[in-house]
Each structure stands twice: as C-alpha cells, then as structure tokens.
Amino acid sequence: MKVFLSSDMEGTAGVVDWQQCVGDGPEASAGRRLLLAEVNAAIGGALAGGATEVVVNDSHSTMRNLPADQLAGRASYVSGSHKPLYMMQGLDGSFGAVLFVSYHGSVGAPAGLSHTYNPRAVVEARIDGAVTGEAGINGLVAAHYGVPVVLVTGDRCACEETAALIPGVHQAVVKEPVSRLAAHSMHPESACELILERAREAVAAAAHAEPPPLDPGVLELSVRTTDIAEAASWVRGVDRTGPRELRIHGENRLATYRAFCAAILLTRPVAESV
C-alpha cells in the first residue's frame, strides 16, 4: 500500500513560536529537528502497519524543511514552492491512505499558531457550512481521489477539527494549547512513540476506511478586506457573495481546491500590503 504524508510544522510538540517555524536561525533549526522526528515516527508506524511506500510532501512555509537523506524508510520527498497541489502535491488515486502530520488549528481557533493557509488573508473557512482548518481543505483532494485520510497529528484543536469533518480519523494529540504562543507539549520522545503507534493502527485499518465525506465540498471564506475579496473573485470558480465573503465551488472537489489555492496565491500581495 502506498501512503501519502503531508507534513506541516506548527503542530509539532515543543513548537510554540513563529521563530521555531520560519527562517534559518537556531530556533528554526531546532524546530525542524523536532518535526523530522515526528515525520519519521509516522513513516515508521505506516511501514509497521503495512505500507510498502511512503511519499512525504513538505507542506510548511517554503516547503523545504526536511533533510531528504534523513527521512526514514527510504521515503520519497516532494519539496519546494509553487506546487500545483500545494500541501497535497503528489497524491492520486494509487494511494491507500493519507496522513496529516504536525497540523494546527484553524484561524480564530483557541490553538497555538492558529491560521488557515494565509493568516493575513483568511479570517474563517467553512466546508459545507462547517468551520475548517487546513486539514479539512486538504481533505477535498483526498475526497476527489477516493483516498481515506486515516491519521492527523498535532495539537488537540487540529485533531478535533479534523475529526469533526472526517469521522473515524485516528488522532495523535501531542500538545494542549494554552494560548496562540504557548502550549503544554508531550516530551518529544513520548510524542514520537504516540505518533508511531497511531500511524501503525491507522494504516493497518486503512483498507476499511472511507474517503473524507466532503460532499458537495463547497468552500466558503471570510477574508480580511474587501480588496482581498475582489482580487480573489478574479479566479475561475470563486464567487463574491458579500463585501468580504467568498464561495468556491468548482466542477469537482479537486477544482474547488485548485481555485482556493489560486485565490490564496493571487491575493498574497494584496493581503501583505495592508
């Protein structure tokens, strides 16, 4: 069974500040080491659960946070910016399971480093009326290809938000949010042990899991300014339904996701100018 692993970073045990997530300073280097250990734990668990191949998509920031030669299990590595499917690049119908590792809570949620793709643009995101974070949005791609999302790891908020949209997903809660810049984290070794075991269980049971039930998968966004909303509406499949409200519904769930990514990319300069 092929397993697809999308790794973010803010949900890693011990990571609580943006300096641990961005740039090349000593704190960022330490954060990447913590992330690598959790990714490798998930790979190890997937292999123990029956995976024959693991593809890791680095989905955080510039998307080149993991040393390719240190990935466990000879996992292949999708890295770098401007990927057409962003956090889900590399997934297709040949996979048997999807793992979300080191995910965080949605923008506005009481969770550490909470945001949804671009914190300067997105105020709230909803799928079929339910508030979602990045896991739910990324789940649109898994739903399109008919691949089950079987594991999410990260803070409690991220795991609970994912489970609300994808019932039955296995969870590895590695830290409890205290504020947006504070958390009570498990010891990294304990966090990795938990992730390994949950990944093993999730992949072992993947044959009986269902793809995310995101149907029809209409994505609605509230954005920070009217200028952001106007620019986003230039993207095919994105309709402006209010001064700062957007509705995204493509011809299928993959088209919806691609329209969302295009809107995020197009509006970045506008969002950063205010």
- Catalytic annotation on 115? yes
Distance spanning both ends of the chain, measured CA to CA: 47
Of the candidates 60, 82, 104, 115, the residue annotated as catalytic is: 115
Picking from 189, 171, 274, the residue whose alpha carbon sits closest to that of residue 230 is 274
> Which residues are identified as catalytic?
115
